[in-house]
Amino acid sequence: MKYLIVGLGNPGSEYNHTRHNIGFDIVTQAAQETGGVFKTDSLAEIAEGKWKGRTLVFIKPTTYMNLSGKAVHYWMQKLKIPVENLMVIVDDIHLDLGKLRLRDKGSDGGHNGLKDIQAKLGHSNYIRLRVGVGKDFFPGQQVTYVLGKWKNDEKEAVEVMITKSITAIKNYTTMGLKLTTDQLNR
């Protein structure tokens, strides 16, 4: 079985380890843990890992956040990945730092990356792991906040969140969505 695991973020060193790029950070570490090595390919950096007999294809779109759907659609088609084997990992300012939410459908929640994926797929029925980055910003400062680096006192919570996210990826590919969601919410 083959899965497409997409971490959303922006390419470029200026975006490394920002709140908006938590998806990139999660898939980077997940790929390392499953034997994958990233290489640049069409519309994305891509790595293939193995986990308990499953093939996990990790991508980090190089299209920038607002055009993520282009890369997701391309790789789904190229690798013949059914939508039920797609997981998108995305930052979420509506969740407290460290909180994770796994869903098989839903709105874009105002997130431009999810909006573009929904537009390219023609629906919003795909699995997404929303990763809480908090909302410690003043009105009108959202862009500055999500493109900002983690504060020192947040870094431990970020590492725990990355570890839990990787466990959720592995569990989803072996146990399915329902059991993974139940375990994550416990």
Domain coordinates in residue numbering, the chain: 2-185
pLDDT for 145? 97
Distances (CA, A) of 86 to 54, 104, 105: 13, 10, 11
Q: Using CA atoms in the order 98, 184, 107, 132, what is the torsion angle rounded to 10 degrees?
A: 0
pLDDT for 39? 98
pLDDT for 177? 95
pLDDT for 26? 98
pLDDT for 186? 76
- Asked if residue 8 lies in contact with residue 65, where contact means CB atoms within 8 angstroms, the answer is yes
The structure's pTM equals 0.96
> What is 2-185's CATH superfamily?
Peptidyl-tRNA hydrolase (3.40.50.1470)
| CA separation for the pair 87, 83 (Å, rounded) | 9
- pLDDT tens per residue across span 81-93: 999 999 999 999 9
- Asked if residue 54 lies in contact with residue 173, where contact means CB atoms within 8 angstroms, the answer is yes
Active-site positions?
20
pLDDT for 110? 87
pLDDT for 185? 79
Regions of the chain short of the pLDDT cut 50: none
Assigned token pair, 37: 């090595």
pLDDT for 49? 98
- pLDDT tens per residue across span 142-159: 999 999 999 999 999 999
